[in-house]
Amino acid sequence: MIYLGCQSSSTCNSTTLSQAASTSKTALSNGTAYLPPGASGPIATPSPEPTFPSGSAVCFPADASVLIDDQNHVVPMSQIRPGMKVMGADQHGRLVPDTVLSWLHYEPSAVGEVLVIATVSGKRLRLTRHHLVYRLQQQQQQQKDRYKNHDRQRHQSGTDLGSAFEAVYAERVRVGDGLYDAVSRSLDRVVSIESTQTLHGLYAPLTRTGRLVVDGLLVSCYGTYPSHAVSHAVLWPARVDTLRGRWASLLGVHHTQGIMPYAAHLYGLWTSIDRMSHGIKAGMIAAAC
């Protein structure tokens, strides 16, 4: 899909989750199991099997926080429901009242890998590798040296996200990059990135603006396809009330488990095109050789 949420037959990154599970920092408290008398050890305790054996999942864990009003109140992702009011963001990065329209993906029993991106302010953004997060563009990153004595640099009011920030896959974020704190309208520098495993579900809500503030930082509702603008455009039918009512069964906007059918169809279309493109490129390279 050109989002687009995770799907039940996919992994949370390009590396198999079986590998991620074996290195998860959340397997158990100390990674060992009880040994009977006379046994030598320790014995490693196996991690739970991932829900997604192949592909890409694009979601947030159950305990990721979602900003719901301008008073800085938050609720866990697992408590979000269609129709709830949350805070989105306009193209300038200004917080605006928004509404959760549906779930792009809702799987309370899912197990999967997530990245934990820690910032200098103490925030810990948790999301899957192919989810889109707003990062200061590379040419803007080069100007950070002017602010090397400041961990957080406030931006001018009205800064356009399109000119200063880019929505990128979480796996492309690096230590030192600047993420966008939409509440304080400032940069928040990344100080560490780790991989862990969520055991209590994966969630991806769809809002009217296509943006959310999760764990204190601005993110897109979308992923898998590397463009927020394209993803937002192709999911237009799922965001327009008239079409949502008229095509509810076709879009699957009222689904209660798994991935939104319309988004799943888009994912299948995108992956088919992507594979075809890679095949053409490989053929051209072979012919050139």
Q: What does the pLDDT read at residue 216?
A: 97
3-state DSSP call for residue 229?
Answer: helix
For the chain, first and last CA: distance in Å? 34
Q: Which two tokens stand for residue 274?
A: 């992507």
Q: How far apart are CA 225 and CA 232, in angstroms?
A: 11
Identify the CA nearest to 13 among candidates 176, 127, 136. Answer: 127
Mean pLDDT of the 270-287 span: 56
Q: Is the pTM of this model over 0.85?
A: no
40-52: pLDDT as tens digits = 444 333 444 444 4
Q: What does the pLDDT read at residue 247?
A: 75
| Beta-ladder partners of 196 | 114
Q: What does the pLDDT read at residue 155?
A: 45
| 8 Å CB contact between 252 and 261 | yes
Mean pLDDT of the 14-36 span: 36
Q: What confidence category does residue 141 fall into, taking pLDDT thresholds of 50, 70 and 90? A: low
209-261: pLDDT as tens digits = 999 999 999 999 998 888 999 999 989 888 888 777 777 777 777 777 788 77
Mean pLDDT of the 107-118 span: 94
Q: What confidence category does residue 25 fall into, taking pLDDT thresholds of 50, 70 and 90? A: very low
pLDDT over 90 at 90, yes or no: yes
142-173: pLDDT as tens digits = 665 554 544 444 444 445 676 789 999 999 99
Average pLDDT of the residues of the chain: 75
Q: Which residues contact 166 (CB under 8 A, 6 or more apart)?
A: 134, 135, 136, 137
| 8 Å CB contact between 133 and 228 | no
Which amino acid is located at 159 in the chain? T
Q: What does the pLDDT read at residue 12?
A: 40
Which amino acid is located at 64 in the chain? A
Identify the CA nearest to 48 among candidates 224, 257, 201. Answer: 201
Is the four-CA dihedral 42, 47, 53, 58 of positive or negative sign?
Answer: negative
Q: What are the chain's domains?
A: 17-30+45-278 (2.170.16.10)
